[in-house]
Structure 1
Amino acid sequence: MKKTYRIFSLTVLAASLFTAGCSNDLLDCNPYDAMSSGVVWSNETNADQAVLGVYQAMMSSYIALIGGPSSNTTDSWSIESLGWTTDARATPAWATNNLTPTTSLVELYWKAHYEGIARANDCLVNLPNVPMDSGKKARLIAECKFLLAYYYYRLNAVFGGVPLYIGQTSAEDYKKERPTEEAVWRKIIDLLTDCINEPNLPNKYASGNNDYGRITKGAAYALRGKTYMWTKEWDLAELDFKNVKSCGYSLYQGDYKKLFKRENEQCDEMIFSAQCYNKLWLGNFTNFRFGSHVSYGWGWNSYYPNTDFVDSFEYADGRPFSWDDYFPADPENGIPAYSSMEPTQRRVYFLRNNMTASEISTHERWGVRMDLYLPDGNEERLAAAYETRDPRLMATIITPNSEFLGCVNDVENTYWMRTPYRGYAAPNYDIETDTKTLYLYLYRKFVAEGKEGMIDRDYSDIDVPLIRYADVLLCLAESINEQGRTSEAIPYINEVRKRAGVAELNTPGNPYVQVSGQDDLRKRIQKERRWELCGEAVTYFDEVRCRTLADYYGNGGGKKEWWGMVNTAYSWPEDDRFYRWPIPQSEIDQNSNLSQNPFYNE
């Protein structure tokens, strides 16, 4: 009889474990159909596959992946779209003050993580009794403890105190009360400390190792350091992040854009990644969700870079970017500065060259300042506003009038991001999006260029980085700065900036990168993390921890076209309630001991 798991979310059964019908690749396996609990825990091979089931729980669009495959019509959410950097076509509920205990995201996020917790606990209970090599057994137990900590980390970050189920639980325990947020952080730290103290858990796996993708001490140090940041134990966080380097991890020194390609998915920068395969529910959906109609397989651009975020990228010399630098006021000719124009008027600066008379007439009716249009140089005039910026901008994002190597009907072609859109076929080769009437930025990051080894648009085999060394370096810098040692923190940020090709902080003679003090560096680190880690479902947790979401959602933020035209305005409640998600009502209905977070009982 098929074995199932009692999930601690009372409405869900955890998915099946995985059997010996797997290849050597982590997670590349098929669910069993007729294996009893006794058989699962009867030998080393089956037990090992059970542990892989704990890893496989990460392959949820609410944990490690961005969005879901096209067949998953219920999922239009991503943790990536909840922060500053990325917007979703399906507007997040709290962006318009509509987050409630019955919001589907809240319930599905809760269930996905507790499914992973259930799998981890089942392994922790049963692994000690499996007849197998004691060293490997200890390593597998450590891996499960890490994954248990990881799932709780992500729950505690958004709900602030969730029921703790560790190991064997009785039926009565299924209705536990919520502990404090602090108590959950302490338990996470305990679990990760056990991992770090386990001598059979390796510091790091080399690229190509059969066990690459499994948990390492380096990953445990990194996650424990991140946990200490939530508890503001900055000195302990600093030590943990420094130990990550001692485990053998380092910053990739090649081109930033190539870091996210297949050939570098096992480079020394990658500390913890979701292992992906060209198979249903084992692949990376990001190519589909970030891609456009001209990317491999006809993407949907469900998620795209936020315009305000794109405008935040500085010049390569560290100078703050301003559109007024390129489109200044000319009072004598009645031309206001870019920032003083109505968004509709300044659309003119983003138009393609050689527009037809009909296209020009249409834009004039819309109120666009077509008297400022350059028929033979409009694209070139705009290009400099992007080309002079932080190189990560154009490596990460498809900007107006820039090119992209796409693949339509299995044929590669170079396409261009232009407005007004004319068509993706010859002779225009315009990039077509799923939002043709809106002109939005698109991601290059994680999107296949041409065919690039793709088999199915929905299931890329390129791994999803969850923790990488650049993230650790910036966390280390923050931890040191929060202890008041600002000058000591700067070199760690500069490692990341140097690789990116931007001016290093405190460069002599450059006034734009001089750090004035602790608060100045704190804000610089927050911006650096957005530029470096956008699209990786990381920075939302930064915004919650640092309580910076209100700065974006409540300060004129929203879905905007390139020129700042607001499509959907965002808002933020004065009570800051959305820094804590509501506990799912479906869980409270079945567990009367669960208390609701403030403001959600109204």
Structure 2
Amino acid sequence: MKIKNIRYSFIAAGLLLLGSSCGEDFLTVEPKGLPLVDNYYKDESEAFSALVAVYDIMGKQSKGFENMITMLNAGSDDFYAGGGGPGDGAGIHAFDNYKLDKINMPRSYWGDFFQGIARANILLAKLPGVDMSDAKKTRFAAEAKALRGYFYFELVRTFKNLPLILTPISPAEGYNVTQVSPEEIYAQIEKDLMEAKAVLPNKVDVPTEGGRLSKGAVQALLGKVYLYEGKNSLAAAEFADVNGTPGGTSMYGYKLLTKFSDLWVISNKFNSEAIIEIMHTDKSNADWGFWGGGADEGNSVNIMVGPRGYGRSDLTLPDYISGWSFNPVTQSLYDALKGDPRFNSTIFDLRALKASGAADYAPGDQDTGYFLKKFMPLNSDTSTGGGATALNYKQDTYAIRLADTYLMEAEALGGTGARAQALLDAVRARVGLASVPVSLDAIANERRLELAGEGHRWFDLVRTGKAATVLAGDGFVAGKNEVWPIPQKDLENTKLVQNPNY
């Protein structure tokens, strides 16, 4: 989603960011400049432009240097921070070795999602007075609520202790907000998602509305929220609608792709397995001057995870771009995936190719020779448009996909029973693997292999209570590192309290 950028102050916004388009498949809106909020929202076009601005924050998953995927991968046992050296990204390296503190914690992980919440709150406050049909008002409001729920979910599972802001506030008021309990945050997320679920269309028309939330997408997110809260029966009920018959096509049209490798074909956007898809384009002319600032719409994970100085003497090898060598794969994940049919779509074993003389690269920090292949584009995928080519890759990413919801439902069912077995079997059968007895451990292992590198592993370890054991060698401290520290700059002169032990 392409949007001109204004940085919001903490969680308050005096100006609404208004923009141009929402990727290649979303409806196009011409730029409207930067009018004051009080002078805007005159008609449907302006309200839609504001809705696009709310959606734009979802790009935090994979755009900009401080994206969720590479950061979360670095904190897991499956990847290192990597990059050019220990100083190449202080925040990502601090998370990798559990040295995050209030000073080196990148502010954008707190501020960007509160920026999205502020935009949603302004839109919800202004919609009643907009000259447009009631039906569209209802849909826009439902989308804004669902997005607010999405942003709060990202915040509560990383920072935990948050202020709950549901109406537009002034910058001055922002200094006086206080935190509420995580339970209150989760209750509001549930409320927002339930209200959105009640009115959103079952599906969206991809050619004109690809990327907008549907009822199925919101149900998948609600099921995930319930699972994180330990409300397993409610989670299973939501996932059952989303998933349908394991291996079949659900009521929303979701179906596992026949080939796992097709998930990573860059042109395969909005496929049947995608439930919430983060959109990117090679046409935003992203450049260094505003990279990560909101106006760039390229996938930054693409350039970040590729090997530095990649070259091939064996021309039958893929012609990958040279990247920045972030998120090198650990030996632990390599060993876990070796022999699994998903290995060749997940890991590029450049170590072996270098040893044989078939290819070469320049080792970066924490180098293992193993790279995250899911997000490695070819040179032929490089943008020919304006801006910096490194910042304009168009591969979409998945916030939630069907194999993920299959495994979450199996977990919500307690890892037992015929349906849980069928859900696990369907994920494995897709890649030609035989059935294994269903259990919570089997499901957790399958999630690690199926979803490797997509930013889920750290959350899975934390929410299941395994992080302190699995990540002990990396410096993880129980009772502290389950959440991130609130950046110091966002605490100063406010009534917010820092998270425990930071």
Instruction: Return the match for 2:211 from 207, 210, 213.
Output: 213
Supply the distance in 2 between the matched residues of 1:43 and 1:23 (Cα, whole angstroms).
Answer: 22
**AA of the residue aligned to 1:259:** L
Q: Trace 1:95-106 onto structure 2 (pairs within 5 A).
A: 95-105=96-106
**AA of the residue aligned to 1:588:** L
Give yes or no for contact 2:278–2:398 (8 Å, CA) kept in 1. Answer: yes
Supply the distance in 2 between the matched residues of 1:75 and 1:542 (Cα, whole angstroms).
Answer: 15
* Cα 1:130–1:193 shift into 2, 3 Å: same
Cα displacement string for residues 312-347 of structure 1 (whole angstroms, at most 9, x for unaligned residues): 22xxxxxxxxxxxxxxxxxxxxxxxxxxxxxxxxxx
Supply the distance in 2 between the matched residues of 1:190 and 1:268 (Cα, whole angstroms).
Answer: 28
Counterpart position of 2:316: none
Give yes or no for contact 1:66–1:289 (8 Å, CA) kept in 2. Answer: no
Asked whether 1:309 is paired with 2:333, we answer yes
Instruction: Return the match for 2:220 from 216, 219, 222.
Output: 222
Cα displacement string for residues 289-328 of structure 1 (whole angstroms, at most 9, x for unaligned residues): 1222335542112222222112122xxxxxxxxxxxxxxx
Counterpart position of 1:582: 485
Instruction: Return the match for 1:290 from 298, 301, 305.
Output: 305
Give yes or no for contact 1:205–1:212 (8 Å, CA) kept in 2. Answer: yes
Helix, strand or coil: the match of 2:61? coil
Counterpart position of 1:87: 80
* Cα 1:76–1:225 shift into 2, 3 Å: closer
Give 1:219 shift: 1.1
Normalization by structure 2: what TM-score? 0.84
Counterpart position of 1:596: 498
Cα RMSD over matched residues? Answer: 2.9
Give 1:585 shift: 2.1
Asked whether 1:277 is paired with 2:281, we answer yes
Cα displacement string for residues 176-201 of structure 1 (whole angstroms, at most 9, x for unaligned residues): 21111111111100000000111xx1
Instruction: Return the match for 2:239 from 219, 238, 241.
Output: 241
Instruction: Return the match for 1:64 from 61, 65, 81.
Output: 61
Give 1:583 shift: 2.3
Give 1:287 shift: 1.8
Q: How many pairs does the alignment contain?
A: 460
Helix, strand or coil: the match of 2:342? helix
Helix, strand or coil: the match of 1:104? coil
Supply the distance in 1 between the matched residues of 2:178 and 2:467 (Cα, whole angstroms).
Answer: 29
* Cα 1:276–1:22 shift into 2, 3 Å: closer
Counterpart position of 2:375: 446
Give yes or no for contact 1:251–1:469 (8 Å, CA) kept in 2. Answer: yes
Counterpart position of 1:252: 256
Supply the distance in 1 between the matched residues of 2:32 and 2:81 (Cα, whole angstroms).
Answer: 36
Counterpart position of 2:71: 78
Cα displacement string for residues 87-106 of structure 1 (whole angstroms, at most 9, x for unaligned residues): 2115632443422122232x
Supply the distance in 1 between the matched residues of 2:240 and 2:354 (Cα, whole angstroms).
Answer: 46
Give yes or no for contact 1:4–1:13 (8 Å, CA) kept in 2. Answer: no
Supply the distance in 1 between the matched residues of 2:420 and 2:491 (Cα, whole angstroms).
Answer: 44
Helix, strand or coil: the match of 2:364? coil
Give yes or no for contact 1:66–1:80 (8 Å, CA) kept in 2. Answer: no
Asked whether 1:113 is paired with 2:113, we answer yes
Counterpart position of 1:182: 183
* Cα 1:77–1:448 shift into 2, 3 Å: closer
Supply the distance in 2 between the matched residues of 1:209 and 1:529 (Cα, whole angstroms).
Answer: 31
Counterpart position of 2:152: 152
Counterpart position of 1:431: 360
Cα displacement string for residues 19-69 of structure 1 (whole angstroms, at most 9, x for unaligned residues): 5x788743876754343435530111121011001111222xxx311652x
Give 1:576 shift: 3.5
Supply the distance in 1 between the matched residues of 2:41 and 2:203 (Cα, whole angstroms).
Answer: 27
Supply the distance in 2 between the matched residues of 1:227 and 1:394 (Cα, whole angstroms).
Answer: 32
Supply the distance in 2 between the matched residues of 1:216 and 1:187 (Cα, whole angstroms).
Answer: 19
Identity rate, percent: 28
Q: Which range moved further: 126-135 or 254-263?
A: 254-263
Counterpart position of 1:16: 17
Give 1:436 shift: 8.8
Unaligned runs of 5+ in 2: 87-91, 244-249, 287-295, 311-318
Give 1:526 shift: 1.3
Counterpart position of 2:246: none
Give 1:8 shift: 4.2
**AA of the residue aligned to 2:325:** N
Helix, strand or coil: the match of 1:86? coil
Supply the distance in 1 between the matched residues of 2:400 and 2:347 (Cα, whole angstroms).
Answer: 21
**AA of the residue aligned to 2:336:** S
Give 1:541 shift: 1.9
Asked whether 1:419 is paired with 2:350, we answer no
Give 1 or 2 for the bigger CA radius of gyration.
1
Give yes or no for contact 1:9–1:587 (8 Å, CA) kept in 2. Answer: no
Supply the distance in 2 between the matched residues of 1:57 and 1:466 (Cα, whole angstroms).
Answer: 13
Cα displacement string for residues 448-507 of structure 1 (whole angstroms, at most 9, x for unaligned residues): 23514654342222211111111100000000016xx4444111011101112222124x
Give yes or no for contact 2:61–2:68 (8 Å, CA) kept in 1. Answer: no
Counterpart position of 1:529: 447
Cα displacement string for residues 102-121 of structure 1 (whole angstroms, at most 9, x for unaligned residues): 2232x221011111111111
Counterpart position of 2:434: 503
Supply the distance in 2 between the matched residues of 1:247 and 1:17 (Cα, whole angstroms).
Answer: 35
* Cα 1:530–1:4 shift into 2, 3 Å: same
**AA of the residue aligned to 1:282:** E
* Cα 1:434–1:300 shift into 2, 3 Å: farther
* Cα 1:54–1:502 shift into 2, 3 Å: same
Q: Trace 1:125-204 onto structure 2 (pairs within 5 A).
A: 125-169=125-169, 172=173, 174-198=175-199, 201-204=200-203
Give yes or no for contact 2:425–2:435 (8 Å, CA) kept in 1. Answer: yes
Q: Trace 1:534-545 onto structure 2 (pairs within 5 A).
A: 534-545=452-463
Give yes or no for contact 1:23–1:29 (8 Å, CA) kept in 2. Answer: no
Counterpart position of 1:395: 345
Give 1:86 shift: 2.2
Helix, strand or coil: the match of 1:268? coil
* Cα 1:465–1:228 shift into 2, 3 Å: same
* Cα 1:582–1:452 shift into 2, 3 Å: closer
**AA of the residue aligned to 2:11:** S
* Cα 1:434–1:141 shift into 2, 3 Å: farther
Give 1:122 shift: 1.1
* Cα 1:395–1:169 shift into 2, 3 Å: same
* Cα 1:304–1:13 shift into 2, 3 Å: farther
Give yes or no for contact 1:9–1:110 (8 Å, CA) kept in 2. Answer: no
**AA of the residue aligned to 2:188:** K
Give yes or no for contact 2:351–2:370 (8 Å, CA) kept in 1. Answer: no
